Structure 1
């Protein structure tokens, strides 16, 4: 490292990195040249040194190279690619990305009407890319740190749980081929993609169990894509006798015989894509004449039923296929009775038990 004065009067500061490559910068004043060199020296000592040349790669170019080294499921690849592709600073050199770029992107997504959860997911995915660049020493800090994101409504306010009567009306209004689909979402808690990917072999009729082994993903190049359930939530769900009977009747009426045959099919004989299911659902709601709710709300309906019946957190977690019990509590914690509720119920039981005629009253009152 050195600072030297050039013949033209400009001060040249230079150093060599760990790979032997020389870097230089020119300044009008010696003090500025030395300050820059001191800053570089400090970054080398603290381990935050960044090669200026490597930082010139764009965000999208770095993602294209970095993503090839990541061990991801197909749905993660799709989500990450979408986030980077729609990122407003994807074409900027990664070393030039500032916090203001991220804040502007968040504001634009809000203006476009994206849900708070969607914005948070996309920012989180891009943040993973930036932190990958940080670990690879392309940048010295993560510019997305501390960026304020839109708040997600609390679960108890955002959640719409249909009533049993509403579910019954919708089931009655649904066409025959779609009725069972609604039932496995409402009475087994399956996600849309999981229900769409059910095969006859996934049903164990004697044990009354349903094996959730796969899910339908977004179509890729016109083809239906299948993957493992979300977040590794492959599971066995215990189902009611009536649902088991309903599955058997559905399979018989539609001619589903082989173990690997799909219980539900789209126009091409493949498992139905989410757009197809969405169309069936909208038509069913129109015919039912109920206040609209999402197909995914049937999963909330199922969870609320388990909780109301006294199922503990771990039981509900396993039935829904949540990776962690904290996810279940974050989503449905408000549905479990609180300590105050239990105290109130216990006091009520004491009162009810004390309302009958006492032994003393039956014997004519106390003796003096």
Structure 2
């Protein structure tokens, strides 16, 4: 064997055909001149890919050649397979061949994911292969905000090492003071309040982690979603805030003292029950004043970095038409006249967009602008704590309390199912609740 080896080294120095020399040494291995190396087999497919198996301790390393990198270095992908205890050499050989073939096919087809990757690395795969294509723009932007907290805490952990304790410690950390980056600050830069995240926000972080890990399970990266075993903070039940009959009258009276553009925005929300984004997406062509019909077919949303997008409403049933009241039509005609006067005052700086509600120069208004103005209006008039979305709840509850059938209410709100309307908006208005109690007493009296 030593003679053959010395002769081959001399031959290799003289020969420029490396492949020929390599072929000769393979023949030497085949002839049994000296024992086979730790490389058990080599398998090459039609595309030139090669799978190699090496014995590594108690297991076997399977490595697939994936071509050359940018600097002409080899690009390989590998995995380790460990036989089950008690397997015979023949069983190991058969099982190893099967695992090797499956692994090579996954690499060739681009479906292989490395189980040793970190949580942050898998999140990047989740982004590219799922989130960017399937999530709504606003949902994706909100998730990215959550990931700014999740990845620094959990991103370094290997995906298959992530456990329930990691999640519980993370949830506890989210509930500590100072974690809320969006907390209002005073003139000295100090946060106003304790700057903690609410249980609902912490639960939304948990739900995102669970959604990502569900994809890891579905794609064969994990056997179980550990987030399903975790216990996030309990979200306290909060009653939806609505205005009763008297409060609505007081609200309308206060709005009549405000500027026409603000009065039109808020009263239209109250008259129709539409969402904030749908209000900001309205165009004049969506209103037929002759038939008093309003069509909702788009929604404006703010997704961060001062980016305003326009898309279809939240659900397919969100595209809808319904009739406006005479009072609403009169208000909108008055507002349109005011807007036409503003166009003349602005002159060449006005940018025509056909939107009902705009900035000073005609560009679409930001949804947060409406929300902030309404919050200041509520505080200025000492109303109970209600949000802009409370007007939608109030609209639905008023219709149901006045005997409007649920199907009509559901259609006007843009719900896909009447069950959604019943589950959310059947709040008893106190004045009607008293009336119901009195009627029941009369019906049951003997």
Q: Would you say same fold, with TM above 0.5?
A: yes
What residue number does 2:340 align with?
255
Match of 1:186 among 270, 285, 297: 270
Q: Whole-Å Cα distance in 1 between the matches of residues 199 and 419 of structure 2?
A: 20
Quick check: 1:99 aligned with 2:171? no
Q: Which residue of 1 aligns with 2:226?
A: 143
Deviations 1:58-77, CA, capped at 9 Å, x for gaps: 34323333336742332232
Q: 1:83 to 1:347 in 2, by over 3 A?
A: same
Moved more, 184-193 or 219-228: 219-228
- 2:142 pairs, out of 58, 79, 88, with 79
Which consecutive residues of structure 1, in runs of 5 or more, have no partner in the other structure? Answer: 1-9, 32-36, 45-50, 355-368
Residues 89 and 268 of structure 1: is their aligned pair in 2 closer, same or farther, counting only changes over 3 Å? farther
In 2: Cα distance, 1:280 partner to 1:231 partner: 27
Q: Determine if contact 2:132/2:140 at 8 Å carries over to the other structure.
A: no
Cross-structure match for 1:6: none
Counterpart-to-counterpart distance in 2, 1:121 and 1:327? 21
* 2:391 counterpart residue number: 298
Cα distance in structure 1, aligned partners of 2:155 and 2:290: 54
1:92-135 deviations in whole A, cap 9, x for unaligned? 33222222233333333344533444333343233222111111
* 2: CA distance, partners of 1:237 / 1:109: 44
Give the whole-Å Cα distance in 2 for the aligned partners of 1:90 and 1:141. 18
Residue equivalent to 1:108: 173
How far off its partner does 1:307 sit? 0.9
Q: Normalising by the residue count of structure 2, what TM-score does the alignment of the two structures yield?
A: 0.62
Name the CA distance, whole Å, in 2 between partners of 1:161 and 1:18: 67
Which residue, out of 289, 294, 297, partners 1:213?
297
- 8 Å Cα contact 1:200/1:259 also seen in 2: no
What's 1:13 paired with?
59
Aligned to 1:3: none
- The match for 2:248 is 164
Describe the shift of the 1:103–1:22 C-alpha distance in structure 2 as closer, same or farther (beyond 3 A): closer
Spell out the pairing of 1:307-326 with structure 2 (5 A cutoff).
307-326=400-419
**1:234 aligned onto 2:319:** yes
Cα separation, partners in 2 of 1:75 and 1:221, compared to 1, 3 Å: same
* DSSP-derived class of the 1:210 partner: strand
Q: Which whole-Å CA distance do the structure 2 matches of 1:60 and 1:151 have between them?
A: 26
Render the CA deviation track for 1:295-343: whole Å, top value 9, x for unaligned: 11111110111111112332222221223333222212443999xx979
Distance 1:203 1:187 in 2: 14
Give the distance between the partners of 2:133 and 2:305, measured in 1 at CA: 23
Whole-angstrom CA distance in 2 between matches of 1:235 and 1:121: 30
Deviations 1:143-195 (A, max 9, x none): 1104333444445x343435213322441243222111101111100222211
Equivalent residue, structure 2, for 1:282: 375
Q: Which has the higher contact order (CA 8 A, sep 6+)?
A: 1
SS at match of 1:216: strand
Distance 1:316 1:97 in 2: 46
Alpha-carbon distance in 2 for matches of 1:307, 1:122: 35
- Tell me what 1:360 maps to: none
Contact 1:56–1:94 (Cα < 8 Å) also in 2? yes
Corresponding pairs, count: 325
Give the TM-score, by structure 1 length: 0.73
Deviation of the 1:255 alpha carbon? 1.1
Preserved CA contact (<8 Å) 1:12 1:24: no
Q: RMSD across aligned C-alpha pairs, in angstroms?
A: 4.0
Q: Deviation of residue 290 (structure 1)?
A: 2.6
Bigger CA radius of gyration? 2
Which is further off, 235-244 or 255-264? 255-264
Range 328-337 or range 17-26, more displaced: 17-26
**Counterpart-to-counterpart distance in 1, 2:229 and 2:254:** 45
Once the two structures are TM-superposed, the CA of residue 344 in structure 1 deviates from its matched residue by: 6.3
Q: Larger deviation: 291-300 or 116-125?
A: 116-125
Distance in structure 1 (CA, Å) of the matches to 2:388 and 2:131: 35
**1:131 maps to 2:206:** no
Cα distance in 1 between the residues matched to 2:156 and 2:336 = 52
Partner of 1:195: 279
Q: Is the CA contact (8 Å cut-off) linking 1:59 and 1:92 kept in structure 2?
A: no
Q: Report how far residue 349 of structure 1 moved.
A: 5.9
